[in-house]
Chain A
């Protein structure tokens, strides 16, 4: 074999080895999973009406929050802040990610489509209600992780049933309230009702 082909083979092998490294890393980059938190730019929001107006007012309030650094903002989990800042550049619109914000299955009229945190450390966070159950609690295995000392690990869950959503307490210590009443068993929720878990108030919205 000639000197040239030996050198080409030698350097080609090294190049291929590095390509393998990058191919493995590229696979891992696409492998990121878990929960993505997207921060939305309030300026780009269409002019809201009804309950959304209230939500928007809170968004403005929270935008100012880091300056004064109230304790509830500081208590927000570092992970979600990091994820949010990483994702903020990526998109302002969750629909880009191909996940519909509205349920695709036959929804009952008046069935809620979004879960919005109205007060508490995660105020302003929105979770789309699509078709899988949403577990709310402090545990890292919950879908909506509350940083709230008065919430249990797996506190309550929202389950889709026959086109609507059912709220169920998962044996929490401090109980789950729908409106002002503590729920005793599974209760169907309708858009506009508020749910209180510990110090956090959530609202289901159409």
Chain B
């Protein structure tokens, strides 16, 4: 009636190389377009920059061939394309800011982002080489937790902490500023995965039933309450709405995936609602964000500081882009404040149009899908939870930012992964990609062939025992 055939995974390294070359070509095309639009000629340093970027990306590809031959072939090209597109857009904005005589900090964004891209690729390569098996991360759940929490509270320390745009989330390391919370989220994902994989049975099975929903026992509620308190702490003391949301969302999703019990989602949403009420009562900037979301075109809201001015300019930009966009380098995205970081999506929407932006969203979808597919394919529970958590952080950041700038949800400061300006986020996302590549290499690798043991003596002994 039916035949079962085992199908092995192909390494897919040649497909990866082709896709990588495609992604590099697209990035360079975007770079050339923005340069041509601004100055009508290609920049002198373009050959060197593109050559260097290609060499670095191909080096990462070769490292995958060497250390993780069965890694997913789509993840790396997708990340390279998004990073390259973001770089082109940031360079285009930097050129424009220079023309307008903006401050040094805005003119330098392109070269800074380029340096962070190089650092990110190196970090990804080092992670793949150093981490032979993702399961070795499982040995240090509490150290990861400690590192994650230190990263979260470091900006509050008096000497190194730095306050910017009303949020206290930066630390100063020499000339560079860094957001340690970006790396914290990886450490905390490792901790959640390691913790939940040992506790999930108790969390999944025990508990009373109420209204058709199996509720957890009160003592199993401890960790989720702790995650909630830490998220609220980030919100209150650092005034960072985005990271707070991300941490709590990450924990709720991982606990749900670990236990397969919908009651955790319900509890999470109730706690979230509670947090929203607290934030609403305490902070005027949260009230302003909601007001700007509900009535952006109101004259008073539009003109107020912290009002909807930025949001509406971004919307106008996307409207100007229309279906096919103004063309790279030919729109006016610089009119939106922070077009290179929080609002890079509207800048791309203006210049690539709906067609281009939908393609970018699909590319993100592929990236996140590969993360979840890796989680399904990997055999150990820790790897499943970690891959789910990492893929979820990418998806959630994208949803919060794109939802914010398109007025689906109130605007919240989070980084569009790989596209937006922000060194720490770029570095952290490259490490996330490296971890996903490592886990996918474990998931797709065929089971090792059993060694040929000579069973003849054993078989003879068995036969002799039988009457």
Chain A contact residues, CB within 8 Å of chain B: 1, 6-7, 9-11, 13-14, 16-21, 23-25, 27-28, 30-40, 42, 58-59, 62-63, 80, 84, 94, 97, 99, 123-128, 132-133, 141, 143-144, 159, 161-162, 166, 184-188
Contacts of A33 in B (CB 8 A): 7-10, 444
A145 to B370: give the CA distance in the assembly, Å: 25
Residues B1-33 near A (CB distance < 8 A):
1-10, 12, 15, 18-19, 22-23, 25-26, 29-30, 33
A33 to B446: give the CA distance in the assembly, Å: 10
Q: Which of B10, B72, B455 contacts A186 (CB 8 A)?
A: B455
Contacts of A35 in B (CB 8 A): 4-7
Contacts of B234 in A (CB 8 A): none
Q: Does B325 belong to the interface (CB within 8 Å)? A: yes
Q: What are 23 residue pairs bridging A and B, where the CB atoms are less than 8 Å apart in the complex?
A: A6-B37, A7-B327, A13-B29, A14-B355, A17-B360, A20-B23, A20-B26, A24-B366, A28-B366, A31-B12, A32-B7, A33-B7, A33-B10, A63-B1, A126-B2, A126-B3, A126-B4, A143-B4, A144-B4, A166-B455, A186-B455, A186-B462, A187-B459
Contacts of A97 in B (CB 8 A): 5
Instruction: Report whether B3 and A40 are in contact in the complex, using a CB–CB cutoff of 8 Å.
Output: yes
Instruction: Report whether A37 and B40 are in contact in the complex, using a CB–CB cutoff of 8 Å.
Output: no
**B81: nearest residue on chain A (CB-CB)?**
A20
A19 to B21: give the CA distance in the assembly, Å: 13
Render B330-372 as a binary contact track against A, CB cut-off 8 A, 1 for contact: 1000000000000000000000110110011011001001100
B458 smallest CB distance to A (angstroms):
6
Render B124-135 as a binary contact track against A, CB cut-off 8 A, 1 for contact: 000000000000
A178 smallest CB distance to B (angstroms):
11
Q: Does B105 belong to the interface (CB within 8 Å)? A: no
A144 to B6: give the CA distance in the assembly, Å: 10
Chain A-chain B contacts (Cβ-Cβ < 8 Å), number = 160
**A5: nearest residue on chain B (CB-CB)?**
B36
Instruction: Report whether A94 and B5 are in contact in the complex, using a CB–CB cutoff of 8 Å.
Output: yes
Instruction: Report whether A25 and B366 are in contact in the complex, using a CB–CB cutoff of 8 Å.
Output: yes
Instruction: Report whether A21 and B2 are in contact in the complex, using a CB–CB cutoff of 8 Å.
Output: no
Instruction: Report whether A10 and B2 are in contact in the complex, using a CB–CB cutoff of 8 Å.
Output: no
A188 to B460: give the CA distance in the assembly, Å: 10
Instruction: Report whether B359 and A27 are in contact in the complex, using a CB–CB cutoff of 8 Å.
Output: no
Instruction: Report whether B12 and A27 are in contact in the complex, using a CB–CB cutoff of 8 Å.
Output: yes
A35 to B5: give the CA distance in the assembly, Å: 6
Contacts of A144 in B (CB 8 A): 4
Contacts of B5 in A (CB 8 A): 35-38, 94, 97, 99, 128
Contacts of A62 in B (CB 8 A): 1
A182 to B408: give the CA distance in the assembly, Å: 64
Instruction: Report whether A188 and B459 are in contact in the complex, using a CB–CB cutoff of 8 Å.
Output: yes
A153 to B452: give the CA distance in the assembly, Å: 24
Instruction: Report whether B458 and A27 are in contact in the complex, using a CB–CB cutoff of 8 Å.
Output: no
Instruction: Report whether B26 and A16 are in contact in the complex, using a CB–CB cutoff of 8 Å.
Output: yes
Contacts of A6 in B (CB 8 A): 37, 327, 330
Contacts of A24 in B (CB 8 A): 19, 74, 77-78, 363, 366
A37 to B363: give the CA distance in the assembly, Å: 31
**B15: nearest residue on chain A (CB-CB)?**
A27
Instruction: Report whether B328 and A13 are in contact in the complex, using a CB–CB cutoff of 8 Å.
Output: yes
A85 smallest CB distance to B (angstroms):
11
Q: Does B136 belong to the interface (CB within 8 Å)? A: no
Beyond known contacts A37-B3, A63-B1: 11 more, CB 8 A cutoff: A6-B37, A9-B36, A11-B324, A20-B359, A23-B22, A27-B15, A27-B73, A40-B3, A62-B1, A186-B458, A186-B462
Q: Which of B12, B22, B369, B458 contacts A185 (CB 8 A)?
A: B458
**A76: nearest residue on chain B (CB-CB)?**
B2
Instruction: Report whether A59 and B1 are in contact in the complex, using a CB–CB cutoff of 8 Å.
Output: yes
B460 smallest CB distance to A (angstroms):
10
**B361: nearest residue on chain A (CB-CB)?**
A21
Q: Does B449 belong to the interface (CB within 8 Å)? A: yes
Contacts of B72 in A (CB 8 A): 31
A94 to B7: give the CA distance in the assembly, Å: 12
Q: Which of A1, A11, A127 contacts B40 (CB 8 A)?
A: A1
Instruction: Report whether A14 and B8 are in contact in the complex, using a CB–CB cutoff of 8 Å.
Output: no
Q: Which of A16, A27, A99, A185 contacts B19 (CB 8 A)?
A: A27
Contacts of B328 in A (CB 8 A): 10, 13
B4 smallest CB distance to A (angstroms):
5
**A125: nearest residue on chain B (CB-CB)?**
B2
Instruction: Report whether B324 and A124 are in contact in the complex, using a CB–CB cutoff of 8 Å.
Output: no
A84 to B1: give the CA distance in the assembly, Å: 10
Render B44-82 as a binary contact track against A, CB cut-off 8 A, 1 for contact: 000000000000000000000000000011100110010
Residue among A20, A30, A144 with most chain B CB within 10 A: A20
A132 smallest CB distance to B (angstroms):
7
B453 smallest CB distance to A (angstroms):
8
Contacts of A133 in B (CB 8 A): 450
Instruction: Report whether B73 and A13 are in contact in the complex, using a CB–CB cutoff of 8 Å.
Output: no
B150 smallest CB distance to A (angstroms):
38
A166 to B460: give the CA distance in the assembly, Å: 13
Q: Which of B36, B356, B369 contacts A14 (CB 8 A)?
A: B356
Q: Does B217 belong to the interface (CB within 8 Å)? A: no
**A132: nearest residue on chain B (CB-CB)?**
B449
Q: Which of B2, B325, B444 contacts A84 (CB 8 A)?
A: B2
Q: Does B456 belong to the interface (CB within 8 Å)? A: yes
A98 smallest CB distance to B (angstroms):
10
Q: Which of A125, A132, A141, A188 contacts B4 (CB 8 A)?
A: A125
A187 to B359: give the CA distance in the assembly, Å: 58
A155 to B6: give the CA distance in the assembly, Å: 19
Contacts of A159 in B (CB 8 A): 450, 455
Instruction: Report whether B3 and A127 are in contact in the complex, using a CB–CB cutoff of 8 Å.
Output: yes
Contacts of B37 in A (CB 8 A): 6
4 nearest interchain CB pairs? Answer: A124-B1, A10-B327, A33-B9, A17-B359
Instruction: Report whether B23 and A125 are in contact in the complex, using a CB–CB cutoff of 8 Å.
Output: no
Instruction: Report whether A31 and B355 are in contact in the complex, using a CB–CB cutoff of 8 Å.
Output: no
Render B439-467 as a binary contact track against A, CB cut-off 8 A, 1 for contact: 00000100001101001101100100100
Instruction: Report whether B366 and A21 are in contact in the complex, using a CB–CB cutoff of 8 Å.
Output: yes
A19 to B25: give the CA distance in the assembly, Å: 12
A79 smallest CB distance to B (angstroms):
11
